[in-house]
Amino acid sequence: MYHKEAKSPVVSKLGQSVRNISTRFSCGGKFELPPNGTVLMNYKTNPGTKDDSCALTGLVAAKETRVLWDSVEFPAASEAAIRKLLDACSVASFGFKDKNVTDKSYRDALCLDPLSFLTTFQLCGTPIMKQIESIVPNCSGLQAELYKLNVYPPGGFFKPHVDTPQSGQMFGSLVVCLPTQFSGGELVVRHQNEEIKYDWSSTASTPSTSLCWAMFFSDIEHEVLPVIEGYRVTLTYNLRYCNNPTSSAIHVKDNPFSQLVLSVTMETRRRCSYHTKLDPF
């Protein structure tokens, strides 16, 4: 059995357009900080030790309830400054059988939750979201919710896994790598027989002023390869829709098949309108 070549030029064009569409499961890039620009991170430090005399009398020392803050600045962060940041972090967990667990043989990293730090980095002031919108179906109302600050020290890694969605409207993850000096730690994403490797390492003597990023959908397997030296510091975001998608429509401007269908539809409407005007009935 064989298929004859479609006689209709429109059908032939549509078929060729479909064959030219490539699967897009991830995207990424980098952008430069403005001149003299920095990313400042303020974070809560561990509280002071207990006052034994107060503990013996059943009183709570005032310094136990006082929140102390420290800061680190990128890309000028020194190793000593990042080590202080590590002291404030906790062991990073991951989802397993509907639970958050820690296992350093599977994931060796540290993290802070959004309530433990503040940053001057504003995602809305970057071109990232516009680029993500270009590949996300029905992206009206797209939101990025800050999820964690992650630090991978030398030897840190995360074995292949698929993210656990944090809500029914979550469809993907965004990782923004802050400018630090490190090597290794590549982010590898895989889908079917395709693989993309994002290498954000920088070992130059002059600190990089580039922020690198990658987005991938929630059902995509990915991993972080071991960091060889230095510290890999990232901000991770959950990507979700504000409202439940009501259709599977995609952006016409970013899909050749949809562009062709639209042009054919408009041409058909034009011809129908023309013939309707000529038809006496």
Q: What is the DSSP letter of 98?
A: T
**184-228 confidence digits (pLDDT tens):** 999 999 998 899 999 999 877 677 788 999 999 988 999 999 999
Which pTM does this prediction carry?
A: 0.73
Please, which pLDDT band fits residue 254 given cuts at 50, 70 and 90? Answer: very low
According to CATH, the topology of domain 23-35+93-249 is: Jelly Rolls (2.60.120)
| Sequence spans of domains, the chain | 23-35+93-249, 251-281
- Would you say residue 48 has pLDDT above 60? no
pLDDT at 187: 98
Q: Number of C-alpha atoms within 13 angstroms, CB side, residue 126? A: 21
Angstrom distance (rounded) from CA 43 to CA 269: 60
**What is the rounded end-to-end Cα distance, in angstroms, of the chain?**
46
- Whether the CB-CB separation of 181 and 204 falls below 8 Å is answered with yes
Question: In whole numbers, what is the pLDDT of the chain averaged over residues?
Answer: 78
Q: What is the mean pLDDT of residues 63-79?
A: 84
pLDDT at 169: 79
pLDDT at 21: 44
pLDDT at 92: 95
- Whether the CB-CB separation of 191 and 7 falls below 8 Å is answered with no
pLDDT at 215: 95
pLDDT at 8: 59
By three-state DSSP, how is residue 234 classified? strand
Q: What is the mean pLDDT of residues 3-30?
A: 61
Contacts for 108 with CB less than 8 Å, ≥ 6 apart? 152, 153, 155, 156, 157, 158
**259-279 confidence digits (pLDDT tens):** 554 555 555 555 544 444 444
**94-112 confidence digits (pLDDT tens):** 877 777 888 999 999 999 9
The phi and psi torsions of 110 (rounded to 5 degrees) equal: -125, 160
Angstrom distance (rounded) from CA 230 to CA 77: 11
- Whether the CB-CB separation of 70 and 84 falls below 8 Å is answered with yes
